[in-house]
Amino acid sequence: MPVRLRKFIGMVALVALVVVYAILSTAIAVAQLADAGPLMHLAYYFLTGLLWIIPAMFIIRWMIGRPQNDA
């Protein structure tokens, strides 16, 4: 697969990941944390704000791919 196509697909996947993850984590927070205190909200959004990095890391690693030797 050409590098430019791989990066384009990865970019679209990253944007989709961020949008879906933000909507999902906010919906969970609204449903589950309605009566929780501000510290619980802070902890939840801190944790969910960091957790999206894990799937993004795999997408970026796929985008970079293996270096090709032109020997």
Supply the mean pLDDT for the chain.
Answer: 90
For 50-67, the pLDDT digits (tens) are 999 999 999 999 998 876
Range of weakest confidence among 19-23, 26-30, 66-70: 66-70
Phi/psi-derived region of residue 37, left when phi > 0, alpha when psi is between -120 and 50, beta in every other case: beta
What is the per-residue pLDDT for 69?
59
Of 27, 13, 22, give the one whose Cα is nearest residue 63: 13
Which residues have CB under 8 Å from 11's CB, separation 6+? 63
Mean pLDDT on 3-23: 94
Average pLDDT for 22-34: 92
In angstroms, rounded to a whole number, what is the distance separating the alpha carbons of residues 12 and 52? 15
Higher pLDDT among residues 70 and 12, named by residue: 12
Residue-range domain boundaries for the chain: 3-64
